[in-house]
Structure 1
Amino acid sequence: MKTIYFAYFVLLTSIATLGQKKDTDYEAGTKIIATENFEQDALADFPVNWLTNSGGEVTKIKKENWLMLNADGVFTATNFDKLLPKNCTLEFDVLVSDDYSFYSTSLGVNFIPVKNLKKEYQKLDNSALGVDEGIQITVHPQDAGSASNAGTTEIKVITDSEAILKNDKAQKIFTNNHHRARIQFWRQNTRLRVYINGKKIWDLPQVFQNQKYNAITFSTGSYKDEDKLYITNLVLAEAGADTRHKLITTGTFTTNDILFDINKATIKTESETILNEIGRALETAPDFKVEIVGHTDNVGDAKANQTLSEKRAASVKEYLVSHFEIDRKRIVTSGKGATEPLAENKTENGRKQNRRVAFIKI
């Protein structure tokens, strides 16, 4: 049964990613850590693998199981009690009842360090004040005075019992006109990006502090009348390196993950993940011009290695321009053969480091 759930969430993540617009730079993690869709729970009960100080119940809406969150509560899944990797993503679907009132609660999503989850998961509630450490992002489908065409979002970062960052803004993706959305968080070391349906809402470079964040909680305030919040389809996954940031922001990126057939410029299929990350990065930065530089180890003839490095760089260019909307004039290629080693060529590990492809802004 666990295998079925795992396969379901891998498929779900793939479908969600395919459904996003091409201009998103969000990259869902691929190494699944934990998932939740409440299919194993009885309807009208609170899920067995969750903790709360308030309550709620599993409800079926249009053939999907959702957790309805009671008012004034904190909620967490015990299988999400993990030390967050420095590169990871969290995704889930949120749904609100029709005509959700501005006076009803926002949904809080909290990242906190705890020593004992069962005793401390309530640390960060929707007030987000009076705690030592924590990060809270809230979303709400109804902005004040905006009818039904705009919602809001807020972020708070608390460290040493002080709010070192606090801000809010309007958003027009999760609203009363569009009252279901997929919320996506992407951690890259200290950086946090937040997306709604693939649209970037927050991008803050210094959010995660020097803490061991190992709990993810959801929190609510009070409801007005019959309003309700629901969540489902949670996926926590370890992510890869932030390719786009390294290339577009720093202007350089080097990888050993682009693999070729021996002594050929034919790209192996297992290289597609990193190539697709680079391709999407270049698509989102249409003015960015780059030089692709091939490097080899020193095995074989120096002249042959020089030619091979040039051909491999050219193969990478052809892959990018044929799979993505990238003007080929933005990319030039060259090869260095074995003339610029990063490591000694005496061992296989050293030779592996030297067989690389570099991307350099021009």
Structure 2
Amino acid sequence: MKLPKNALRISLLGVALLFFISNAYAQTKQLKRPKNKVGISSVDNFVTQSFDLYDKVYKYDGYAAAETPLDDEDIDVLEDALDDLQGLSESAPDIISDIDGASVFKQAKATLHINKAKKALKYSIKTAKELLLGQRERDKKEEDSGDDNSSNDEESNGVSESSNENDDTEEEVSNISDDLKVFSKFDFVPGDKVLFFDDFSQDFIGDFPSRWNTNASGEIVKINKVEGNWFELKPGYGIYFVPDVKSLPEDYTIEFDLLTQGLSKQTSSTARLHIILSDNNKFNDGSQHYVSTSLPFGQYGAFNIRAVNYFNRGGGDINSTIKADIRDEVKNQPHIAISVTKNRYRLWVNEVKYVDIPRFIQELNVLNYIKFHINNLKDGEERIFINNLKVAEGGVDLRRELLSKGKISTNGILFDSGSDNIKPQSYGIIRQISQVLMQDESIKLNIIGHTDSDGNDDVNLKLSKSRANAVKEALIKVYKISGDRLQTDGKGDTEPVDDNNTTSGKAQNRRVEFIKM
């Protein structure tokens, strides 16, 4: 809690004009900021902000050691810094989750940098409080631990810090794949024929997206700290956002990334995002048939995911509240995945499956449209954005196809933009490939990466090869497949299967092939 400024100033100014401690207490040795970035934006931002705040506090700690008094402006800066430090410290567990799916080396480096930032935060919070209260003192133990590499009070996440603070390349990695084990059971498999894909890259900032419809408003925005264009859904009563998706098949998947801003303990318990499958493309749930699941945004309690179906104007059999505490997830850019296999409906938030209803779709071939609806959010304060909406036909068992045809091609293995970092939601497909290899130990596979045509040809060729190798490494490290059964190659953008001039075509061309050797 932020200290009352007036009361604090009176008490501090009344104690020897803010002279804190004597020179007998030498200042703690300064922690060294990591020299190089990791390449994961959330981690790099977390580390940068942590050390920026650390530098401020460290400067004022130096004033205290030199018996230099703090003035009113100094106190303001420290109070604001303390607020920022506490908020940043609370976000640390979420930042750690962002490294999932990165390469082994990048995970190790990210964990090392996060641990350094957490050490800087711990020092900064403790020191800022003591400086503000006029109680800043250090003993010999603290003096010796200023640049210590021990991390007894830090979660190492399987990574030990190097004894050389200046050399980030000498990081000792231990059981880094343990962090990926949660994905080894992730069973979402995206469809393999893209029906609709929109990352809003073809839309202008400030415009409503060209491939959507609404009865209200929304706009494409850029957001600092996250990549790409994002579609902001504007709240209102009876407002719907309808992508240009038509004639959904019996088996398909829906995926999108969700981003939120401004959620707090004051966010309404009824604030929700509704994902609706409907029999029309009008601005309502549906005329005769629809199903809806809704994700809660409230933060002061754990609010359930809701599932409702409605058929033939007579209601439906399902009106459920499903136990789910996703408060942290909705604040940290989750990936939402839905699989419809005839009557069966499943929904995942990140790697966790929350909904699996065998006969949620009571009547086939009547739900042809997708709609989004948000409600009970404070306009301008609590904001909801989505990106990378992908609808694809399929999402069924790829194992049989690989066994029967000897090869499969999938665009469901996703990577960070311009990177070989596998996104966590891709592990459902990699898991199925591993099951084929475990079932028949005589099978060997050639893994071939493909890219779209964006960028330089040579860069794309190199990227496609590194992505194929990243899939190979995931099979080896997460699923314990022998490396001598796997071969890799990359074709860059030389073998497109769709039009590289459209976003959906590009999504189809970004793919990985598995071919039996």
State the TM-score, normalized to the length of structure 2.
0.43
1:200 and 2:342 aligned: no
Question: How many equivalent residue pairs?
Answer: 252
Deviation readout 1:299-334 (Å, 9 max, x if unpaired): xxxxxxxxxxxxxx5525999xx857489xxxxxxx
Distance between the aligned counterparts of 1:326 and 1:317, measured in 2? 14
**Whose Rg is larger?**
2
For the 8 Å contact 2:346–2:354, the answer to whether it is kept is yes
Could you say what the CA RMSD is over the residues aligned between the two structures, in angstroms?
3.7
For the 8 Å contact 2:184–2:431, the answer to whether it is kept is no
- Which of 217, 240, 248 is the aligned partner of 1:84? 248
C-alpha spacing 1:317/1:205, structure 2 compared with 1 (3 Å): farther
For the 8 Å contact 1:28–1:237, the answer to whether it is kept is yes
- Secondary structure (helix, strand or coil) at the match of 1:123 reads coil
Distance between the aligned counterparts of 2:330 and 2:347, measured in 1? 21
C-alpha spacing 1:74/1:200, structure 2 compared with 1 (3 Å): same
How far did residue 137 of structure 1 move?
Answer: 0.8
Query: Any stretches of 5+ residues in structure 2 without a counterpart?
Result: 1-97, 103-179, 411-427, 447-474, 482-517
Distance between the aligned counterparts of 2:186 and 2:344, measured in 1? 17
Higher RCO structure (Cα 8 Å, ≥6 apart) = 1
Tell me the amino acid that sits aligned with residue 256 of structure 2: F
- Secondary structure (helix, strand or coil) at the match of 1:210 reads coil
| Equivalent residue runs for 1:66-215 within 5 Å | 66-71=230-235, 72=237, 73-78=239-244, 80=245, 82-100=246-264, 101-103=267-269, 105-114=271-280, 117=281, 121-124=282-285, 131-142=287-298, 145-146=300-301, 150-161=302-313, 162-173=315-326, 175=328, 178-208=331-361, 209-215=363-369
How far did residue 122 of structure 1 move?
Answer: 1.3
1:236 and 2:402 aligned: no
- Secondary structure (helix, strand or coil) at the match of 1:213 reads coil
Distance between the aligned counterparts of 1:271 and 1:179, measured in 2? 33
Distance between the aligned counterparts of 1:256 and 1:45, measured in 2? 42
For the 8 Å contact 2:293–2:306, the answer to whether it is kept is yes
How far did residue 59 of structure 1 move?
Answer: 1.1
Distance between the aligned counterparts of 1:174 and 1:59, measured in 2? 24
Tell me the amino acid that sits aligned with residue 217 of structure 1: K
Query: What fraction of aligned residue pairs are identical, expressed as a percent?
Result: 22
C-alpha spacing 1:243/1:271, structure 2 compared with 1 (3 Å): closer
C-alpha spacing 1:227/1:46, structure 2 compared with 1 (3 Å): same
Distance between the aligned counterparts of 1:172 and 1:196, measured in 2? 11
Partner of 2:377: 223
How far did residue 28 of structure 1 move?
Answer: 1.4
For the 8 Å contact 1:33–1:237, the answer to whether it is kept is yes
Partner of 2:21: none
Deviation readout 1:173-197 (Å, 9 max, x if unpaired): 4537734211100111110110011
Tell me the amino acid that sits aligned with residue 263 of structure 2: D
For the 8 Å contact 1:173–1:197, the answer to whether it is kept is no
Query: Any stretches of 5+ residues in structure 1 without a counterpart?
Result: 1-14, 245-254, 261-267, 284-289, 293-312, 328-362
Tell me the amino acid that sits aligned with residue 368 of structure 2: N
For the 8 Å contact 1:141–1:179, the answer to whether it is kept is no
Distance between the aligned counterparts of 1:155 and 1:59, measured in 2? 30
| Equivalent residue runs for 1:259-338 within 5 Å | 270=407, 278=432, 315-316=442-443, 325=479
Partner of 1:351: none
- Secondary structure (helix, strand or coil) at the match of 2:340 reads strand
C-alpha spacing 1:271/1:89, structure 2 compared with 1 (3 Å): closer
How far did residue 48 of structure 1 move?
Answer: 2.2
For the 8 Å contact 2:271–2:297, the answer to whether it is kept is no
C-alpha spacing 1:151/1:183, structure 2 compared with 1 (3 Å): farther
Distance between the aligned counterparts of 2:354 and 2:340, measured in 1? 14
For the 8 Å contact 1:88–1:188, the answer to whether it is kept is yes
C-alpha spacing 1:195/1:113, structure 2 compared with 1 (3 Å): same
Partner of 1:46: 208
- Secondary structure (helix, strand or coil) at the match of 2:304 reads strand
How far did residue 200 of structure 1 move?
Answer: 0.4
For the 8 Å contact 1:184–1:194, the answer to whether it is kept is yes
C-alpha spacing 1:259/1:189, structure 2 compared with 1 (3 Å): closer
- Which of 35, 44, 59 is the aligned partner of 2:221? 59
Farther off after superposition, 19-28 or 212-221? 19-28
Distance between the aligned counterparts of 2:277 and 2:333, measured in 1? 22
For the 8 Å contact 2:289–2:366, the answer to whether it is kept is no
For the 8 Å contact 1:94–1:181, the answer to whether it is kept is yes
For the 8 Å contact 2:289–2:312, the answer to whether it is kept is yes
Partner of 1:348: none
C-alpha spacing 1:92/1:256, structure 2 compared with 1 (3 Å): closer
Deviation readout 1:33-55 (Å, 9 max, x if unpaired): 11111122221221222111111
C-alpha spacing 1:272/1:315, structure 2 compared with 1 (3 Å): farther
How far did residue 256 of structure 1 move?
Answer: 6.3
If each structure's helix is expressed as a fraction of its own residues, which one has the higher value? 2
Deviation readout 1:159-180 (Å, 9 max, x if unpaired): 1221320112342345377342
For the 8 Å contact 1:97–1:179, the answer to whether it is kept is no
Tell me the amino acid that sits aligned with residue 77 of structure 1: P
- Secondary structure (helix, strand or coil) at the match of 2:403 reads coil
Distance between the aligned counterparts of 1:181 and 1:77, measured in 2? 20
Tell me the amino acid that sits aligned with residue 241 of structure 2: F
